Amino acid sequence: MDLVRFIVNSAVYLVFFLVSWYAMGALDYEKCLKQGHVRQAQILYVLLVCALAYLAGSFFLSFLYRL
């Protein structure tokens, strides 16, 4: 049972990571960043995607496990 739950959790977080990455492409975040700070902007982008994926995945899983 724990293995199934681990696989489901991993799949949900992976799906939401991909969806978050896709959705973040709609933002023009370059207007908010300083010029010449490309590496820092990339790190910020990945961290924002991870945070969004975690929050959305946790929200989805909370409903999934209540059923």
Contact 59, 18 (CB under 8 A): no
For residue 20, the tally of other CB atoms under 10 A from its CB is 20
The pLDDT, as a whole number, for residue 60 is 96
The pLDDT, as a whole number, for residue 30 is 81
The pLDDT, as a whole number, for residue 3 is 95
* Domain boundary assignment for the chain: 2-64
The pLDDT, as a whole number, for residue 29 is 83
Contact 64, 20 (CB under 8 A): no
27-60 residue pLDDT tens: 888 888 889 998 999 999 999 999 999 999 999 9
Residue 12's pLDDT band (cuts 50, 70, 90):
very high
The reported pTM is 0.86
